[in-house]
Structure 1
Amino acid sequence: MLEIPPQKLRELLVGESLMAGDAFDAIAQEAERFHQSLSDTLISRGLITREYFEDLLVKYFNVQKADLERRGIDLETLSILPEELSRRRRVIAFKREGDNSVDVAMEDPSDLETVEYLERYLKAQINSFLASANDLNKGFSLYGRQSSENFQKLIEEHVLASLKSQAQGEEEKAEEVPIVSIVDNIVSYAISLRASDIHLEIFNDLVLIRYRVDGILYEIVRVRKEVFPAIVARLKLLSGMKIDEHSKPQDGRFRYKVGTDQVDIRVSIMPTFYGEKVEMRLLTGADRPLSFAELGMLDDTIKIIEENIKKSYGMFLVCGPTGSGKTTTLYAVLGKLNRPQVNIVTIEDPIEYDIAYVNQTQVNTLAGINFASGLRAFLRQDPNIIMVGEIRDEETAEISVQAALTGHLVLSSLHTNDAPTAIPRFVDMKIPPFLVSAVLNVLIAQRLVRRICTNCIISYPAPEEVTAALKVQVKKLGVENYVKIPETLYKGKGCSVCNGSGYAGRMGIFETLNVNEDVRKIIINPDFSLDALRTVARGQGMITMFEDGIRKVEKGMTTLEEVLRVIRE
């Protein structure tokens, strides 16, 4: 990764009055402690943006930005470098300049060894450009787009080869080359498409392979049933499961390497009527926690969160259904709080990402470790900050509240549809209202919406029928006085980058309830009602998820259809 020397970066940031010198020195020490790049630490703390740092790199090193969203990527040029080489060297060939010159986006254009290697490999002059993480991800994803037909053909070839195999027994079949290749191709293709999940499902006459990309499931390929037991056996072998166990659910995980990147894959196997169903969750290891802005939070939401995480005790709760991004938000908060002066502990099910210098424990029911017992044990470990993956039961709720009352900052998640309903949910778990009001600092509810692909975004006047439908929804939600109907809408027209979907990536829409004195009075009122709570929260400036979504529709970050889809779910 290209970096500006720390002393020079300090001069630039202090000179532009972006931060004080002692604040920079503290961040530099923190980056060294966590073995992170200084720029990543500054970005994750929200002190500078990724775009600002890239502009500094361009000026300091006198290089051009690749800006592949604007320049585009020629697929024929992309294919002159194998995907494995591109990922390993962190480069994207995107345009030919005549017969003897190639434009290449590079993570580090000053890496002369890579430039010389590419010139020898391509027998051409290399024009190097500074590539952002988005540039590289865009290029890597295009390898997957252009190989869709090749992927299906490869799977079919390996299936036929496996059917001809003389291998005997599940373990022997799991180790044979065709089955190993099938599993490798299923996983690597999913990674190239930015899939979060892989589903392998067996039915009466076929096996269906589906990927979840940006929250939506897509059918990818169908394979013959005869090879499925060997595929499942291979995944069990990789994940450390019992190969000969077919009647009980099993869970495991393994690590898959793609170029210089590592992907942790969590595997769940469940018996069904026709055989075992496999679900794989792909956990791409992040170099750093995401910043609040990268999650999709707007300035007013960020301000409330940053004010509340400065508190040394109380509860910070993130609410929403499964798959709404709660854990990612909690990790972003931990990233903001993680510093040498505090002891942070977590109890999770499962641990999705490894966080430097945070003591993480995974729920293990066989060993007697659940959320409640793990939390109770951690209270004897002198913690400052405790993250509980989820509050599911009365015991966990009670211990979490006691921890928050005794000088600990407790972060957790709760399954509720919006922020206000978290309060009666706590009361349902036998927590008295006066304790609920005493411990809660802030409640955040969220959903995930797909981002419009920035490579093919277009604007258009809002059609009358869409405006009419939106007015109906606004009235139904009772937010007529708060929502402005957009006159201009945005969408992605579809391109090779987004595989024709018009979307690339996801972000959150948020509802933030700041628990202040007025809200606390409502909570302890014997005549408590959600309507009264919402009215007071409104008066304090609470913005609903729907309103936050409409703001992002206006800004061209997502579509109206996406906001309505997740709000109605």
Structure 2
Amino acid sequence: MDKLVKEGSLGSILLHSQIITEQELQAALEEQQTSGIRIGEALIKLGIVTQEDIDWALSNQLNIPYVRLKKENIGREAVECVPAELARRYNLMPLFLSGDDLSIAIADPLNKDAIRAVESTTGCLVTVSVGLIREIREMQELFYGAEIVPASFGFSSSLFPPKIIDNINADLSGAKLLDYLLLSIVKNRLSSVSLQPVGDSVLVTGRATGVTKELGAFEPGYYPELILHIRRMAKMNGLHETSARGVLAFRLKGRTLHYQVCMLRGEGGDYVTIKLHLSSTFPSTLSEIGLSSEKEAEYRNLAAIDKGLLLFSMRDADERCRLMDLYLDERNTQGQTVLILGNNVGRGKKKFPRIPVSRNITELSAVIMATFDHDPDIIVIEDATDAYAFIAAGKAAMHGKLVMAGVSFGDVPVTFKNLIHYWQKNYFIPTFLKGVVSLKGLITLCPHCKESYAPSREETAALRIEVPIADCYRAKGCPACEHTGYAGRKYLMGLIAFDSSMLEAFENARDSTEIVKHLSGRGYRGIGEEALELLVAGEISPEEYAVSIIY
């Protein structure tokens, strides 16, 4: 059960304090996943604990004072330091002020964002005590006055008709605003819509043809409710994670459109980006990628190696893991021992023993070294980007193992820039490096509704190509593509085998530029070159080329 919650989290503390059982924690986690609420709220909603139970456990386990709030124990100077809106947003109450030291009572002492916000606003060093949320709210009303609840969501925009704005503002959950934003993406052919907490407001922006424009704004009072609604719709977990992604469905004129939702935690609330999600399954076989015969032969050669270090270099962690799974599915592993080190890799057709690893880099490198005792033939490392993990991966390859290591370096120049740096630091021996594999999925334009246009000088410069393109293409959307403007996703693969020629070029190179020149001299066609051909042929838009290849 400890694997389901992080050490030091509220769920872990309550479990270790024996206030809840493993079964009760599991039920609360399922409720959290369904409703998008915090774990403490889920436990209270299910009747498993009271707020007092949570407060006591946090105070006892974290050695934080537990206080009962009374009017006579609260200093007016402390209250004047902290704005009412800030106190209500984070469920906290100022207690007393002594010089630059401010003491507060807070319902959730684990909320680091709250503590940072108070310190940033007041300029004081904050000392935390745990308080009952009921008493905190009573003191807030007593010292700050009754909370004024606006009768409107507070959205304003010059782009929407007044009737639609009234309709949006009548729904305090923000669901109507979300519906109209999803509709705007399709009707106005926006590549994305973003919600950006900035100071005392949340900006709503739309992006099209590489330009971001403001669509409107609203006050942050009901932003948490809107975020919870989006999380429920997109089935997003990870309330305490820095970033999260999900997909939500939206019905429009009898058909279902899917949108990708991306969130980043930030001051004042989550930064949200929503864009059309093109439903496309990742290739399950090598033939589905559509490689040239020459490139497929190169891939088969890499799939036949039995020892050495093979790198899978991609920034997108999810697609990188899928590519590693595809490699395992395509190669012969019969009679071999394969160990998976990671939480997301190893989800392909074949099943192998999995060793979960934490984000602690020192622990990961220790786990890699510990696998030697079990004499595996293949070691699969989900993410070996960090130097310590990379060193351990290199040592495993030196022991005669085939090491499949994921790294988040990205394109060819950046990958070799990092590899040259690691070699100069003596982190690995190039002789044991067998190859670098990468994959990129590009969204192709709908052939039925794409239209040509002459790109501007600025747009051509942004593409960073030697020979300017006379015509570029964009799609406006049509019934054939369900008004998305897209036909599907095409995957391009980059393959660099470390043969004797490549090894010599690497060892003699002063920087990654010389590596790129060597590859070009060999007639190498990587992802960038193939993507440029798609751009020239009008199969992808300039925006897709820029986002996927350049930036």
TM-score (norm 2): 0.51
CA shift, 1:231, in A, is: 3.8
Q: 1:256, 1:535 → 2: CA distance?
A: 44
Distance 1:494 1:229, change over 3 A: closer
Q: 1:284, 1:500 → 2: CA distance?
A: 11
The higher radius of gyration belongs to: 2
CA shift, 1:453, in A, is: 1.6
Instruction: Find 1:518's aligned residue among 501, 505, 515.
Output: 501
CA shift, 1:396, in A, is: 0.8
Distance 1:501 1:419, change over 3 A: same
Distance 1:159 1:329, change over 3 A: farther
CA shift, 1:400, in A, is: 0.9
Does the 8 Å contact 1:419/1:513 carry over to 2?
no
Alignment of 1:438-477 (within 5 A): 438-444=431-437, 448-457=441-450, 473-474=465-466
Q: 1:215, 1:375 → 2: CA distance?
A: 43
Distance 1:280 1:369, change over 3 A: farther
Distance 1:510 1:249, change over 3 A: closer
Per-residue CA deviations over 1:489-539 (Å, capped at 9, x if unaligned) read 7654542455766444443445432211111123334x6554543444334
Q: 2:547, 2:460 → 1: CA distance?
A: 17
5+ long unaligned stretches in structure 1? 1-148, 163-177, 243-247, 476-484
- Which residue of structure 2 lines up, in the alignment, with residue 330 of structure 1? 324
- Which residue of structure 2 lines up, in the alignment, with residue 160 of structure 1? 170
Aligned partner letter, 1:312? D
Per-residue CA deviations over 1:421-463 (Å, capped at 9, x if unaligned) read 5345234235677954212222245655431223434679x99
- Which residue of structure 2 lines up, in the alignment, with residue 229 of structure 1? 224
- Which residue of structure 2 lines up, in the alignment, with residue 507 of structure 1? 490
SS in 2 for 1:473: coil
- Which residue of structure 1 lines up, in the alignment, with residue 197 of structure 2? 202
Distance 1:282 1:454, change over 3 A: closer
Distance 1:562 1:288, change over 3 A: closer
CA shift, 1:385, in A, is: 3.1
Distance 1:158 1:323, change over 3 A: farther
- Which residue of structure 2 lines up, in the alignment, with residue 399 of structure 1? 392
Per-residue CA deviations over 1:342-371 (Å, capped at 9, x if unaligned) read 4444334x62884341445554347x8854
Q: 1:397, 1:543 → 2: CA distance?
A: 27
Does the 8 Å contact 2:382/2:406 carry over to 1?
yes
Q: 1:489, 1:400 → 2: CA distance?
A: 44
CA shift, 1:548, in A, is: 1.6
Higher relative contact order (CA 8 A, sep 6+): 1
Aligned partner letter, 1:346? I
Q: 2:476, 2:391 → 1: CA distance?
A: 50
Distance 1:204 1:370, change over 3 A: same
Alignment of 1:382-397 (within 5 A): 382-397=375-390
Distance 1:372 1:258, change over 3 A: farther
- Which residue of structure 2 lines up, in the alignment, with residue 319 of structure 1? 313
CA shift, 1:317, in A, is: 2.1
Does the 8 Å contact 1:489/1:559 carry over to 2?
yes
* Residues 206-215 or 410-419, more deviating: 206-215
CA shift, 1:378, in A, is: 4.3
Does the 8 Å contact 1:522/1:533 carry over to 2?
yes
SS in 2 for 1:330: helix
- Which residue of structure 1 lines up, in the alignment, with residue 68 of structure 2? none
TM-score (norm 1): 0.50
CA shift, 1:468, in A, is: 9.6
Alignment of 1:339-358 (within 5 A): 341-348=335-342, 351=344, 354-356=347-349, 357-358=351-352
SS in 1 for 2:383: coil
5+ long unaligned stretches in structure 2? 1-158
Does the 8 Å contact 1:267/1:280 carry over to 2?
yes
Per-residue CA deviations over 1:467-493 (Å, capped at 9, x if unaligned) read 997998337xxxxxxxxx989876545
Distance 1:184 1:563, change over 3 A: closer
Instruction: Find 1:538's aligned residue among 504, 517, 520.
Output: 520
Distance 1:491 1:343, change over 3 A: farther
Does the 8 Å contact 2:203/2:218 carry over to 1?
yes
Does the 8 Å contact 1:400/1:410 carry over to 2?
yes
CA shift, 1:280, in A, is: 9.0
CA shift, 1:302, in A, is: 2.9
Alignment of 1:10-21 (within 5 A): none
